[in-house]
A = this chain, B = another copy of it.
Amino acid sequence: MEPRQAYEEILQLMHTATDLNAAAALLSWDQETYMPPLAADARAEQIATIASITHSILVGEKAQRLAEYFREHLSSADGELSETEKRIARVFTREVQRATKLPEEFVRRKARITSLAQQAWKDARARSDFALFRDYLAQIVDLMVEEASLRGFSEHPYDALLDVYEPGLTSSVLDPIFEKLERATRSMLDYVRTASTIPEDAFLRGYFPRQAQLDVAYRIVAALGFDFKAGRVDLSAHPFCTSFSIRDVRLTTRIDESDIRPCLFGLIHEAGHGLYEQGIDVALERTFARDGASMGIHESQSLFWENIIARSEEFWHWALPILQEHFPSQFGSISPRQFYAAINRVQPSLIRIEADEVTYNLHIIVRYRIEKALIGGELVVDSVPAVWNAMSTDLLGIEVPDDARGCLQDIHWSFGGFGYFPSYTLGKLYAAMFRTALLNAMPQAPEYVQQGRFAPIREWLQEVIHRWGRTVEPAELVKHVTGRSLSEEDFVEYAWQKIRRVYGDS
């Protein structure tokens, strides 16, 4: 077989699989946005059927043969395949390998248990009763240990799970970074606790009619560059971004009429994901490389726009007049500086998804350490609530009053998402590193933001990050953009700057 012919064959396979994935993604999108309630059972079957067909393509004889061919011949395909084509072939090979590691029987067993576990978790959280979830969590930890062993690892079993979301990252790299991040965050919290000024943020709450909130949010994400001809926005209980092709990117947001933040910052966050998806090179369409480099890199893009840009003081010089136009009585007398300070208030709190930029990472560190200890066999399921509460009190300085606001607050464990949580903090660290790189490459970027000129920044992100899609591994990408390896330093420096600006006397 010639490389060209083999490449055409993997393209065909990927076209079929990605078209099926797009259909499954639409079935899921519809489920969260428009699907009538009684349709749930049939919908679950439809999604499962499509996932199973896609899986059978990946583990099928043809895909295996082609993946093996490229594992052996990729390096010798120079001149016959372009650099992009070789990278796409590598992504294909990796995806086939991944799919092959988990036997059908395991995938089904995991799907069944996690499906029941999600229901049990809902009940347990609603009643704040860990006992209702305990047995499922124990089964899921066993599943995860089994999965780690099926996937394989060199040092710690948790690394196999981390690799699913952040290819190549290991806990031996992550542990010292999280330790340094923890120390820096403790210092910041000490600084904030003893600061003489506390930003006023009461004006962020009030009555903000639904449609006006959407109008503002649409205007702002359109200005950031989200292309509404190649995407759209709908409402869902939990905001998310999904895409069915490079030119079909769906964002959702939610509205709280008593608080201006969830809809606006939620949509900017999802638009950050959306700009990544819309910015992928069209040459990667209908291949496995039409995707983000990793969960953490994807999150860095949403957080770049949500935090680095839209929680900067410069941004509100441009954006506040828009808010004032739609909500004159609420914001008419607020200055950009006041608004900036209000949205950057730092305050330890119980719920991860409501946490500020600084304390958020502490929530992740708690989860990460508990996950790793569970998978490593150093912690038993029964001890999770007590350990959670002790760690939370130690790190955040607040008591956990019940498990609903403690170890039961997040859905991730119930669907078997061990290894997922670190992505959120990785996104923050990457975003801060990309900020440094942007300021080096484009020192005038803050002025652009102040003028509402987002195109140069978006184009820079597209050039260095978005267009590559999944053809690059996260570590390679970060090295290429920043010249350095993953580190907490830029985030810590960025966060200190902000805290001093908000809480200092300057």
Contact = CB atoms under 8 A, between A and B. Distances in A.
Interface in A204-251: 227-232, 234, 244-248
A230 B38 contact: yes
Given A36-B229, A39-B244, A230-B36, A46 B23 contact: yes
Interface string A24-52: 10110010001111110111011001100
A188 interface: no
A19 interface: yes
Interface in A370-427: none
Contacts of A53: 16, 20, 53
A26 B30 contact: yes
Given A36-B248, A248-B35, A248-B42, A19 B230 contact: no
A473 interface: no
B42 A285 contact: yes
A22 interface: yes
A42 to B, nearest CB: 3
Interface in A267-320: 285-286
A15 interface: yes
A36 B286 contact: no
A38 B232 contact: no
A45 B230 contact: no
A234 B45 CA distance: 24
A37 B245 CA distance: 12
A230 B38 CA distance: 5
A39 B282 CA distance: 12
Contacts of A27: 23, 26
A260 to B, nearest CB: 26
Nearest to A22: B46
Contacts of A43: 244-245, 248
A41 B19 CA distance: 12
Nearest to A37: B229
Contacts of A22: 42, 46
Contact of A49 (B20, B35, B36, B49): B20
Interface string A331-354: 000000000000000000000000
A19 B245 contact: no
Contacts of A16: 49, 53
Nearest to A33: B34
Nearest to A285: B42
Contacts of A36: 228-232, 247-248
B26 A247 contact: no
A15 B285 contact: no
A41 to B, nearest CB: 8
Nearest to A227: B38
A34 to B, nearest CB: 6
A49 B19 contact: yes
Given A39-B230, A232-B36, A286-B42, A19 B248 contact: no
A15 B45 contact: yes
A286 B44 CA distance: 12
Contacts of A42: 22, 244-248, 285-286
A245 B36 CA distance: 11
Contacts of A234: 34
A41 B245 CA distance: 10
Contacts of A244: 39, 42-43, 46
Contacts of A34: 232, 234
A277 to B, nearest CB: 12
20 contacts: A16-B53, A20-B49, A20-B50, A26-B26, A34-B234, A35-B248, A36-B231, A36-B232, A36-B248, A37-B229, A38-B229, A38-B230, A38-B248, A39-B245, A39-B247, A41-B247, A42-B248, A43-B244, A43-B248, A45-B286
Given A19-B46, A20-B49, A38-B229, 13 more contacts: A15-B45, A19-B49, A19-B50, A23-B24, A23-B46, A23-B50, A30-B30, A38-B248, A42-B245, A42-B246, A42-B286, A45-B286, A46-B244
Q: Which 10 A-B pairs have the closest CB atoms?
A: A42-B245, A39-B248, A19-B49, A38-B247, A23-B23, A38-B230, A19-B46, A38-B229, A39-B247, A22-B46
Interface of A: 15-16, 19-20, 22-24, 26-27, 30, 34-39, 41-43, 45-46, 49-50, 53, 227-232, 234, 244-248, 285-286
